[in-house]
Amino acid sequence: AAVRQGIDQGPYLGAQALALRLIDRLGYWDQFSDAVQDRIGADFGYLSLAEYHDASTEDAVIEATFALVHGLGPVVLDDSENDPVFGRVSMGADTVAEAIANAVDDPEIEAILFRIDSPGGSYVASDTIWREVQRAREAGKPLIVSFGNVAASGGYFDAAPAAKIVAQPTTITGSIGVVGGKVALAGLWRELSVNWDGVKAGANADFWSPHRTFDDAGWTRLQVSLDRTYEDFRTKVGAGRGLDAATVRALAKGQVWSGSDALELGLVDALGGYREALALAREAAGLAPDSAIELRPFPEPRDPLQALFESVFGGTLQSPGLTSLARGLAGMARLLAPLATLQARLTEDPRSQVLRAAAVP
């Protein structure tokens, strides 16, 4: 009850958060630095996140390379989209299926980590991705799925054949079900006295037209299609998770489970995030728990400046002028990086290093 009240009355000023024991102390940067010095002595320094990563891995001997594939947003039968300008994100079957296929076929890749955060979407697109996950299973290449906030409908469907599935305790999981239909505007057009006419070849050419409702034959056709899709969904979940048909039917019906409930019901294998998923990937690949691995993104990430220009101007970045400009800006960023590092070291101010790490690609 106290936690619920605390959530409902937030956000808080610093003093209020201190009184509620949401934080331990109030202070400025110099007071923080003094506290660190009091705790560990005078001989200490600060590292940026990039420097910490380099220092912690410089002596590590890479024992294996794992592929990292992201499936974020609604599942669509297209390329994935991750728009840095307008925030559009989608899990494109063309991109994700090709990425998994390439990872399966790459002899340097010993395991695949597939991160899913998706509410589902197109059945055909989901089935396309499912096939590549299934192919990884058939090829004997471990594919471990890590769920983010949501893994529902097609988002869960794609994970079903994975070697292991890891969910957060609160991941929205499952939603094994199918929905379909169309918006029928015939009544609206009558109210507006708008008439539509056209030429069609075939009795069902306008099956999905919003200008007419389904007739009895059309409604039956839709139900048959949905029933077939739902059966396929349940069958593939059962095969992937090793569950019998009756169990899957009881867990399906569009029901949504938390990650914790999904673990008890057999829909996932473990609770956690990347760390747990990587541990399972190491285990599946026959590696020691502390073995050093390289995570290689599939597909290779696009240059952020190129992505920005493509978002603003549309399409792909094919113009020689824009390409040159993007490359020039990227080159300037690389040239300025040593200067920013030098400035940070001269000032010995950790905040300037943080700014440098955030500002320079």
Of residues 257 and 290, the one with the higher pLDDT is: 257
Residues composing the chain: 361
- Which residue in this structure is represented by tokens 């055909």? 124
Query: What does the angle CA 124 – CA 125 – CA 131 come to, to the nearest 5 degrees?
Result: 85
Torsion, Cα 265 267 272 277, to 10 degrees, reads 140
DSSP letter for each residue of 12-27: --HHHHHHTTSSS---
pLDDT at 55: 82
Query: What does the angle CA 87 – CA 89 – CA 95 come to, to the nearest 5 degrees?
Result: 140
- Which residue in this structure is represented by tokens 């057009």? 189
Confidence of residue 312 (pLDDT cuts 50, 70, 90): low
The dihedral sign for the CA sequence 35, 37, 40, 41: negative
Q: Over the stretch 98-142, which tens digit does the pLDDT of each residue have?
A: 999 999 999 999 999 999 999 999 999 999 999 999 999 999 999
Task: Look up residue 106 and give its two tokens.
Answer: 């790459």
- Residue 24 amino acid letter: D
| Strand ranges in the chain using DSSP code E only, listed in sequence order | 64-72, 75-76, 81-82, 89-92, 109-118, 143-152, 164-167, 172-174, 256-257, 270-271, 293-297
187 pLDDT exceeds 80?
Answer: yes
Q: Over the stretch 29-81, which tens digit does the pLDDT of each residue have?
A: 999 999 999 998 878 888 899 898 888 777 778 899 999 999 999 999 999 98
Lowest mean pLDDT among 103-117, 204-218, 252-266: 204-218
pLDDT at 94: 96
Exposure pattern of 114-130 as b/e (b: 16+ CB <10 Å)?
Answer: bbbbbbbbbbebbbbbb
DSSP letter for each residue of 237-275: HHHHHT--HHHHHHH-TT-EE-HHHHHHHTS-SEE-SHH
pLDDT at 361: 38
355 pLDDT exceeds 60?
Answer: no
299 pLDDT exceeds 70?
Answer: yes
Cis (ω within 30 of 0) for the bond into 142?
no
Contacting residues for 121 by C-beta, under 8 A, at least 6 apart: 74, 75, 76, 90, 91, 153, 154
pLDDT at 337: 55
Query: Are 211 and 263 contacting, i.e. CB atoms less than 8 angstroms apart?
Result: no
Confidence of residue 161 (pLDDT cuts 50, 70, 90): very high
Q: How many CB atoms lie within 10 A of CB 21?
A: 8
Confidence of residue 347 (pLDDT cuts 50, 70, 90): very low
DSSP state of 67: E
- Mean pLDDT (the chain) is 87
pLDDT at 93: 96
pLDDT at 338: 55
pLDDT at 348: 46
Q: How many CB atoms lie within 10 A of CB 71?
A: 30
Q: Helix, strand or coil for residue 82?
A: strand
Of residues 303 and 270, the one with the higher pLDDT is: 270
pLDDT at 326: 54
